[in-house]
Amino acid sequence: MLTANPIVDLLAGTPDGGAANPAATMMMMMGFIAIVYFMLIRPQRKQQRDHQALVEGLKKGDEVVTMGGIVGTIVYLSDDRVTIKSADARIEVERSKVGQVRSA
């Protein structure tokens, strides 16, 4: 019995009760993988590249916001750490925990 939806027919198999077409099943799986890649994996990789560029471009005097919400000015940089002056305190955080740069 055919339904009004051809996708349901494809998933259920042939109209006479036989097995599903392996080529159609493979195409659906490839389509699903493509959708997952373009909607989840690709944007996440772009965001990681952008954050890496932000971290590498940090310099003394930049006003930054950490991922924890601390706002301050960079006073010292090392390979993996940043010292931030916020109000009267100096805080040392990992470079990767800087979320955004407010001004250069």
pLDDT confidence of residue 83: 96
Looking at the fold, whether 43 and 1 belong to one and the same domain comes out as yes
* Range(s) of the domain holding residue 52: 1-56
The first and second tokens of residue 81, run together, are: 């750490």
Looking at the fold, whether 24 and 51 belong to one and the same domain comes out as yes
**75-88 pLDDT, tens digit each:** 999 999 999 999 99
The 3-state DSSP class for residue 88 equals coil
- Asked whether the beta carbons of 20 and 11 are under 8 A apart, the reply is yes
Looking at the fold, whether 23 and 34 belong to one and the same domain comes out as yes
The 3-state DSSP class for residue 13 equals coil
Residue appearing with tokens 């955004």: 100
- Asked whether the beta carbons of 63 and 71 are under 8 A apart, the reply is yes
Task: State which amino acid sits at residue 25.
Answer: T
**27-51 pLDDT, tens digit each:** 999 999 999 999 999 999 999 999 9
Looking at the fold, whether 19 and 45 belong to one and the same domain comes out as yes
